[in-house]
Amino acid sequence: MAGEGKGLSRRRLLAGAGGGAAAGAAVGFLGGRAVSPAEAAAADGLDLSRAYDFYTGDHQVGIATPPQRHLVFMSLDVVEGTTAEQLKVLFARWSAAMATMMKGNPVGSVEPTRSNGVPQDTGEAYDLSPASLTVTLGLGPGLFDDRFGLAGRGPKLLAEIPRLPSDELKPELCGGDLALQACADDPQVAYHAIRDLVRIGRGLVTTRWTVLGFGRASAGKGQKTPRNLMGLKDGTRNIKSEEDLDEFVWVADPDEPAWMRGGSYLVTRKINMDIEVWDGTTIDTQHLTIGRDKAEGAPLSGKKEFDTPDFKAVRDGKPVIDPTSHVALAASENNGGAKILRRGYNFTDGLNSLGQLDAGLFFIAFMKDPATFVDLQRKLGRVDLLNEYIAHVGSAIFAVPRAPKSGHFLAQELFD
pLDDT score for 44: 62
46 belongs to a structural domain: no
Number of domains in the chain: 1
pLDDT score for 354: 85
41 belongs to a structural domain: no
- pLDDT band with cut points at 50, 70 and 90 for residue 3: very low
Q: Convert the chain into a string of H (helix), E (strand) and C (coil).
A: CCCCCCCCCHHHHHHHCCCHHHHHHHHHEECCEECCHHHHHHHCCCCCCCCCCCCCCCCCCCCCCCCCCEEEEEEEEECCCCCHHHHHHHHHHHHHHHHHHHCCCCCCCCCCCCCCCCCCCCCCCCCCCCCCCEEEEEECHHHHCCCCCCCCCCCCCCCCCCCCCCECCCHHHCCCCEEEEEEECCHHHHHHHHHHHHHHCECCEEEEEEEEEECCCCCCCCCCCCECCCCCECCCCCCCCHHHHHHHCCCCCCCCCCCCCCCEEEEEEEEEECHHHHHCCCHHHHHHHHCECCCCCCECCCCCCCCCCCCCCEECCEECCCCCCHHHHHCHHHCCCCCCEECCEEEEEEECCCCCEEEEEEEEEEECCCHHHHHHHHHHHHHCHHHHCEEEEEEEEEEECCCCCCCCCCCHHHHC
Q: Average pLDDT, stretch 207-222?
A: 93
Global pTM value: 0.89
Q: What is the pLDDT of residues 327-386, one digit of tens each?
A: 999 999 999 999 999 999 999 999 988 889 999 999 999 999 999 999 999 999 999 999
277 belongs to a structural domain: yes
121 belongs to a structural domain: yes
Q: What is the pLDDT of residues 310-326, one digit of tens each?
A: 999 999 999 999 999 99
pLDDT score for 344: 97
Q: Could you tell me the residue range of the domain that residue 397 belongs to? A: 70-109+117-151+160-402
pLDDT score for 198: 98
Q: Average pLDDT, stretch 199-222?
A: 95
Q: What is the pLDDT of residues 242-296, one digit of tens each?
A: 999 999 999 999 999 999 999 999 999 999 999 999 999 999 999 999 999 999 9
Q: What is the pLDDT of residues 126-172, one digit of tens each?
A: 999 999 999 999 999 999 998 999 999 999 999 999 999 989 999 99
* % residues pLDDT > 70 (the chain): 89
pLDDT score for 41: 61
101 belongs to a structural domain: yes
pLDDT score for 189: 98
Q: What is the pLDDT of residues 45-103, one digit of tens each?
A: 689 999 999 998 799 999 999 999 999 999 999 999 999 999 999 999 999 999 999 99
28 belongs to a structural domain: no
For the cut 50, the answer to whether the pLDDT of residue 10 exceeds it is: no
53 belongs to a structural domain: no
- pLDDT band with cut points at 50, 70 and 90 for residue 17: very low
Mean of pLDDT over the chain: 90
313 belongs to a structural domain: yes
